[in-house]
Amino acid sequence: MKKICLLIFCIVLVGCRPDISGKWINPNGSTEIVFNNDSVEFFGVEGTYKIKSKKLVLYLGSKTIEYDYDLKDNQLILYLDEGKLILEKE
């Protein structure tokens, strides 16, 4: 019984991962991020990403960038030190 509960719990956790795949741009077109499976392209630099709770972590070469984020309808909102960046799904 414990194994079944653990299996169901794991399936629920995997199914709860938000889907951010696709191309995201801000309305003025100055920022573009493309998510494919576990890869990301940000300002022409390819890397990987992970979602940890309400944090989006980008691994771009030797740099790691972490943003708080919200996903609302077709908007991806990244919270920066100086404000927020609103991206729309293309």
User: For residue 14, what pLDDT band results from cuts at 50, 70 and 90?
Assistant: very low
Region 8-32: mean pLDDT is 74
Residue ranges of alpha helices (H) inside the chain are: 2-15
The structural domains of the chain, with segments of one domain joined by +, span 20-89
What top-level class would CATH report for the domain 20-89? mainly beta
What integer pLDDT is reported at residue 13 of this predicted model? 44
pLDDT for 16 beyond 70: no
- Read off the pLDDT of residues 37-50 as tens digits, 9 standing for 90 and up: 889 999 899 999 99
Place of tokens 């960038």: 65
Per-residue DSSP letter, 48: E
